[in-house]
Amino acid sequence: MEHFISIDQLSKQEIFQLLEDAQMYQMKKMQISKQLFVANLFFEPSTRTKMSFTVAERRLGLEVLDFHAEASSLAKGETLYDTVKTFESIGANALVIRHEADQWIEELEHITIPIINAGAGTREHPTQGMLDLLTIYQEFNTFENLNIVIVGDIKHSRVANSNAHTLQRLGANVYLSAAPGYEDESLPFPYITIDEAVEFCHVVMMLRIQHERHVEKHDTKQYLEQFGLTKEREQRMLSKAIILHPAPVNRGVEMDSDLVECSRSRIFKQMNNGVFMRMAILTHVLQKWGIINENLVKEC
């Protein structure tokens, strides 16, 4: 059975089914009528992703096994593998893992319960990618021929990695925009300036500068004016264009603080969508592994 590690492993049909399921969870209160335990193993700080998963799990009626790395046996030298094996052994039915390493899943490939990737280093963030897809789809009802630009610290962004290829696969025209030194040349998409992007893009997806992943610290004093989304640039955007950001937002750095909650912003809608998309993903994974069937997911 496959763990939920990348959107790339999903067919187009599966992607659209997840979008449909997430929207169903927004409209109906659904629960799984079976006692199941899900462990949230977050080895990196997280507010939105961890709390979103927690709310999603509780909405589904799942038992949440919380985990605090600083108070765990990691302090005694326990490995990621042994931590995961512990939860598998005590009866967890699924694991949600965020870890700072890019390749952590490779040492867990033989774990016999499903694993959902909640963030792998700079490599993947598939549940964020899926909630971004949901937000875009709700706005435009299609991905075909949408012009979408991803702006910011592309080099260190797992969000950029998860989104760019999938959006292209679904028919969007994908562009990247980054300050010098923030590019990722491994991504085969054209780079444009932020001034070019605002003139024709339907979606402007901003990214945080990830200082914690930089070997050298960069001066961000002039970043907003040179490379970010200012109020002047926002006024030049297409009439129906929207602003996305996975958050947390460095207000006044990658975008003007006033734009975080402007009429174009869908940042807090993304957060809301995250709960329902993660409900859909949890159900999808549990069904795929045969832990539940569709008859156990009931409206209540």
Return d(Cα 210, Cα 123) in angstroms, integer.
14
Return d(Cα 215, Cα 91) in angstroms, integer.
40
Gyration radius of the chain's alpha carbons: 19
User: Which residues sit in the known binding site for L-aspartate?
Assistant: 76, 158, 208
Return d(Cα 22, Cα 273) in angstroms, integer.
8
Return d(Cα 242, Cα 205) in angstroms, integer.
8
Return d(Cα 42, Cα 57) in angstroms, integer.
15
Q: What is the per-residue pLDDT across 92-107, written as a single tens digit (0 to 9) for each?
A: 999 999 998 888 888 8
> Are 174 and 132 spatial neighbours (Cβ–Cβ below 8 Å)?
no
pLDDT of residue 219: 58
Q: What is the per-residue pLDDT across 220-268, written as a single tens digit (0 to 9) for each?
A: 678 999 999 999 999 999 999 999 999 999 999 999 999 999 999 999 9
User: Which residues sit in the known binding site for carbamoyl phosphate?
Assistant: 48-49, 98, 125, 128, 247-248
CATH topology of domain 7-125+271-299: Rossmann fold (3.40.50)
Structure tokens given for 57: 């799990």
Q: What is the per-residue pLDDT across 190-211, written as a single tens digit (0 to 9) for each?
A: 999 999 999 999 999 999 886 4
Helices (H) and strands (E) counted in the chain, each on its own, are 9, 10
Strand-pairing partners, residue 41, are: 97
Q: In tens digits, what is the pLDDT along the chain, a chain of 300 residues?
A: 689 999 999 999 999 999 999 999 999 999 999 999 999 999 888 899 999 999 999 999 999 998 877 767 776 688 999 999 999 999 999 999 999 888 888 889 889 999 999 998 778 899 999 999 999 999 999 999 999 999 999 988 888 888 999 999 999 999 999 999 899 988 999 999 999 999 999 999 999 886 444 445 555 678 999 999 999 999 999 999 999 999 999 999 999 999 999 999 999 999 999 999 999 999 999 999 999 999 999 998
**Domains of the chain: which residue ranges?**
7-125+271-299, 126-267
In sequence order, the 6+-apart residues with CB closer than 8 A to the CB of 163 are 129, 132, 133, 150, 205
At which residue do the structure tokens 């907003």 appear?
A: 224
DSSP 11-44: -HHHHHHHHHHHHHHHHS-EEESS--EEEEEESS
User: CATH number for the 126-267 domain, one of 3.40.50.280, 3.90.1300.10, 3.60.20.10, 3.40.50.1370?
Assistant: 3.40.50.1370
> Are 150 and 176 spatial neighbours (Cβ–Cβ below 8 Å)?
yes
User: Which residues sit in the known binding site?
Assistant: 48-49, 76, 98, 125, 128, 158, 208, 247-248
Return d(Cα 282, Cα 170) in angstroms, integer.
23
**Angle at Cα 189 formed by Cα 221 and Cα 144, nearest 5°?**
110
Pairing relationship of beta strands 242-244 and 30-32 according to DSSP bridges: unpaired
Fold match, 7-125+271-299 / 126-267: yes
